[in-house]
Amino acid sequence: MVTDREMLQVDTVVVGAGIVGLAVARHLAMQGSEVLVLDGNARFGEGLSSRNSEVIHAGIYYPEGSGKAKLCIRGRQLLYDYCQQRQIDHRKTGKWIVARGPEQQEKLVSIARQAERNGVWLQSVGQGALQSRLPEVIADEALFSPETGVVNSHGVMLAFLGDIEDCGGQLVCHAPVEGVTTIGDQHRLRIGGQSPCELVARRVVNAAGLGAVALASAWKGMPEALVPQQWLARGVYFSYSGRHPFSSLIYPVPEPGGLGVHLTLDLAGQGRFGPDVEWIEQVDFSVDPGRARSFANSIRQWWPALDETRLQPAYAGIRPKLAGPDGGFADFRIDGEVDHGIPGLVHLFGIESPGLTACLAIAEEVAQKLGD
């Protein structure tokens, strides 16, 4: 029988090497903690962090005072500052939210009011000015967000990992955490993969993304009633081959479960449309090329000159949501000891968009929950 003394002992383990897990590990390592990051994939960032639009969000839509609003706005500035300091590719492209017809214009007014309550400045633009600034777009009114941008998320994660290793931390891949038992103030982790083992940690952060709820469910000592239900919303992206006339991101007014099929740009300026919203029962990242038709129909509502033949299937992402199709808004859950009663443990549940934007602010809050 293996005793605790014979087991590997670590101060802090972060489960999950996506952009949020790495941000958390970096923050804790830079505060002097011995940090080990565990991930079941072959490399960091292979989960949801490789399947998003790489947009730095301004913090427009979220309810005032919510975790998503506060952490997005704080995280946005932290992320821009970090990218500038580390010379990571990013660009403030700005973002248009366009509306057609009285119903969408009414929603636009609500969006502007929500942004104002969140302290986010938006410029309101009428049809006349829109025709000169966005001549290819058909819209009656629009809002412009100057703080929205795009970023090389892989570059951000690579820099985070460099900071972790500079502070003596370590990333171990092919190391899925299959279960945890908490006894007193120690967490015993059972690691699978190529080299199964067990280790004991004083503190653990569950940043497992899509797998966070499953890991909490397999956690002996975690109150079952405090583990949330999770819904999966798949979003498909289509790239747009060749040139297009846009230099800023363009979004329609939001739809239930997401922000509508919108145009984002990569750092080279290539266009990409998505994501749409499809509620699914199991994790499935497949992309049906046949969805191009529905994409084209949505896009032509504001860009009638779209050439559907240039839409190419790209990839799909999945949002781990804490509310279903009819559930309305669900906030991030950053659950620490005050929430579940277990010292030295933080669970990150429902970390979907704007998780990338908010990652550095989430790291600050996790550290506070751990008492650092």
Which pLDDT band, with edges at 50, 70 and 90, does 223 fall under? very high
Q: How far apart are CA 234 and CA 73, in angstroms?
A: 25
CA distances to 5, 170, 300 from 25, rounded to whole Å, are 25, 9, 43
Count H helices, E strands: the chain? 9, 21
Which domains are delineated in the chain? 8-51+154-228+329-370 (3.50.50.60), 95-145 (no CATH), 231-321 (3.30.9.10)
For position 260, what pLDDT does the model report?
67
Which residues, listed in sequence order, are joined to residue 312 by a DSSP beta bridge?
239
- Confidence class of residue 3 from pLDDT cuts 50, 70 and 90? very low
Q: Are 330 and 324 in contact (CB under 8 A)?
A: no
Q: What is the DSSP string of 258-300?
A: BS-SEEEE-TT--EEEE---EEESS------GGGHHHHHHHHT
Round to whole Å and give the CA distance between 274 and 353. 13
Q: pLDDT (tens digit, 9 = 90+) per residue, 114-145?
A: 999 999 999 999 988 999 999 999 999 999 99
pLDDT higher than threshold 50 for residue 160: yes
Per-residue pLDDT tens over the stretch 161-216: 999 999 999 999 999 999 999 998 899 999 999 889 999 999 999 999 999 999 99
- Single-letter amino acid, residue 198: E
